[in-house]
Structure 1
Amino acid sequence: MDIQLRDLRYFEVVAELGHVGQAADKIGRTQPALTKAIQRLEEAFGAVLFERQGRGIRLTPVGEVLLARARVLRGATEEALREVGDFAKGNAGHVRIGSGPIAADHVLPEICSLLLAEASETTIDITVAPSIALRERLREGAIDLLIGLMPQHDDDFVAHSIVEDVVVVATSPDHPVFKLPKITMESLLEWRWVLPVNSIVSRQWLDAAFRSRGLPTPTAQIDANSIPLLPRLIARTHLLSFLSRHTLNASGAANALREVPLKETTLRRHLGVTYRKEGYLSPAAQRLVALLRTRGKRLYTSALA
């Protein structure tokens, strides 16, 4: 079976856009060239990769499998080129960082400054997104390091803990909840909430905590995909939210918000740095991992002091 990497790249773009013409325009090739590339792949695998959908096309089940593998293969190819290039040039290399919102706010600027102070020629790409989304990008080889929530029991990754992250219910200091003789999960349902969107891990955990006790989930009046935005949304209201203590104790939020103490709604987890076990790490990425392991906890602490 003879498969060209170029054909796989064309296939990826067509799959992402669902349209051969748009894919041709994006990569600067003709439609017949892309059509022939798809045909070569279909002949190689003995299966149809796309099917018609309205005015466009969509992947068949076989095409879905190939797309996932093509992304991993492209990541491995790019890694091989980077590794050989770093070795040939003898330079510090390049590092692609994926960061969760908390790390991006409190650690990333300082840790990048430390890295550049040691290796001024290092180049850095930064992507800020929820950790669960970044984990898939890491698996595909699209990023080198993930600074954020640590994965649990995944043999594809190596993870080093930096600091514990505790997520708690919080609200404005004058909220009526603090006047209750006893705070319970049932009592928290009397008020509306500002919460991360459903795709965020902390929101999923909170909803599951209520469901596991036979209770309805909190009523979200505001859904937000920006974690740093949550404190400002509740500071002058009687809405509740679910925040990391790192965010709650940050400068500017400590006096405006107050934790609602309740063991059943307290999530404990760890923030760390994660990379692929079999992936290539440039000298810059290796040094960044070392800096995070030795200075990461202090950086979190000092940033929130």
Structure 2
Amino acid sequence: MRLEDLDVFRAVHETGNFQRAALRCGLSQSAVTKVVRKLEDEFGVQLMERGGRSLALTPAGRTLYQRAMELSELTAATRRDMAGEMAALRGAIRLGVVPALLGSVAAPVLADRLPGPHAVQLLVSVKHSAELVRMLEEGKLDLAVCFGVQHLPPDVLRTRVGPQRYRLVVRAGHPFAASIPSLEQLSKSRWLLPTSDVTLRTEVERMFADAGFGALDVRVETDTSATLLIPLLRRSDLITVLPEQAFQPLASEGLAALDVDLHALTGEVTVYHRRKTPSVGLLMALKHRLEAQARSNALTGPHGRHSAKESM
């Protein structure tokens, strides 16, 4: 029995016939048939009922299918672990970070590590939180510094390191820039928000839903950081939500933060890593340094002390 044979067996069951399984596996139909017969001969049991227009698994076939699924997941996890070990062996650490935390958390820590005695190569990916956690789950990253996500994969651990404040941001000449808009006025405005799988989007919509308002008019939806769409924000009346760290460098560049209480949107800066991290002390040292930097920012940065008190 080979793992490839189990993949073919799974394909026959999941596609419903030998022909579609052959297309999926890149084999001839006769080769797929031979694989299934080989498995049946090896175990001495019939795995599939071959009658009618569709194939059905026998009780033994269902058992083998379940084991094949488990082995497939174990194989994928093993490949992810080995990819991490290979990167560690090369002296590389694969770090993911959201744009808002690149300058305030990641950059100071990485700059301190570069002159050190250890020849460490840093591979940095800058994406939004949900994508970074997915990459971590797939073994493409060792660490991720970002914000909270809706779904935490079972193989990923998180350490919450500090509160996160958000601001509603518009162009400097926006009608709301010189006033204090109500939630009702905001609910009727046009928005630039992340895609629906991003936690921040969910929290924004929940804030308005809890206040009794309907769905927001999201005119622009993005799967990357809203900071990359700042030129569009400056030329329109769109409203977006930015982390405090992302807004501060932009405050003098034609943007304004609305005077609105966003206590309901206070989130957390979080460091994520996989349960089975590569066997290298440098990785954990970097993790602890990133956590310390994020905690320091939460206490000493803009509105830091106020945020920490509110989140208690």
- TM-score, structure 1 normalization: 0.68
The answer on whether the counterparts of 1:195 and 1:203 sit within 8 Å (CA) in structure 2 is: yes
Give yes or no for the alignment of 1:237 onto 2:239. Answer: no
**Structure 2 residue identity aligned to 1:166:** R
Provide closer, same or farther for how the CA distance between residues 163 and 257 of structure 1 changes in structure 2, counting only shifts above 3 A: farther
Partner of 2:270: helix, strand, or coil?
strand
**Structure 2 residue identity aligned to 1:73:** T
Provide closer, same or farther for how the CA distance between residues 119 and 208 of structure 1 changes in structure 2, counting only shifts above 3 A: farther
- TM-score, structure 2 normalization: 0.66
Indicate the residue corresponding to 2:187 in structure 1.
189
CA–CA separation in structure 1 for the residues paired with 2:33 and 2:113: 46
CA–CA separation in structure 1 for the residues paired with 2:164 and 2:104: 13
Give yes or no for the alignment of 1:70 onto 2:68. Answer: no
The answer on whether the counterparts of 2:149 and 2:198 sit within 8 Å (CA) in structure 1 is: no
Report how far residue 126 of structure 1 moved.
3.3
CA–CA separation in structure 2 for the residues paired with 1:39 and 1:94: 43
Partner of 2:245: helix, strand, or coil?
helix
Indicate the residue corresponding to 2:282 in structure 1.
284
Equivalences for 1:99-114 in 2 at 5 Å?
Answer: 99-104=97-102, 106-114=104-112
Find the partner of 1:135 among 133, 137, 150: 133
Find the partner of 2:208 among 207, 210, 215: 210
Indicate the residue corresponding to 1:246 in structure 2.
245
Which segments of 5 or more consecutive residues in structure 1 lack a partner in the other structure? 25-29, 53-61
Provide closer, same or farther for how the CA distance between residues 190 and 41 of structure 1 changes in structure 2, counting only shifts above 3 A: farther
Provide closer, same or farther for how the CA distance between residues 47 and 189 of structure 1 changes in structure 2, counting only shifts above 3 A: farther
The answer on whether the counterparts of 1:100 and 1:148 sit within 8 Å (CA) in structure 2 is: yes
The answer on whether the counterparts of 1:166 and 1:266 sit within 8 Å (CA) in structure 2 is: no
**Structure 2 residue identity aligned to 1:208:** R
Provide closer, same or farther for how the CA distance between residues 105 and 77 of structure 1 changes in structure 2, counting only shifts above 3 A: same
Partner of 1:261: helix, strand, or coil?
coil
Q: In percent, how many aligned pairs have the same letter?
A: 18
CA–CA separation in structure 2 for the residues paired with 1:214 and 1:96: 43
CA–CA separation in structure 2 for the residues paired with 1:247 and 1:96: 23
Indicate the residue corresponding to 2:61 in structure 1.
none
Provide closer, same or farther for how the CA distance between residues 213 and 85 of structure 1 changes in structure 2, counting only shifts above 3 A: closer
Indicate the residue corresponding to 1:267 in structure 2.
265
Which segments of 5 or more consecutive residues in structure 2 lack a partner in the other structure? 15-19, 49-53, 55-63, 303-312
Provide closer, same or farther for how the CA distance between residues 120 and 22 of structure 1 changes in structure 2, counting only shifts above 3 A: farther
CA–CA separation in structure 1 for the residues paired with 2:191 and 2:285: 41
CA–CA separation in structure 2 for the residues paired with 1:116 and 1:3: 45
Provide closer, same or farther for how the CA distance between residues 281 and 249 of structure 1 changes in structure 2, counting only shifts above 3 A: farther
Provide closer, same or farther for how the CA distance between residues 149 and 42 of structure 1 changes in structure 2, counting only shifts above 3 A: farther
CA RMSD of aligned residues (A): 4.6
Find the partner of 1:224 among 209, 222, 225: 222
Indicate the residue corresponding to 1:56 in structure 2.
none
Give yes or no for the alignment of 1:148 onto 2:130. Answer: no
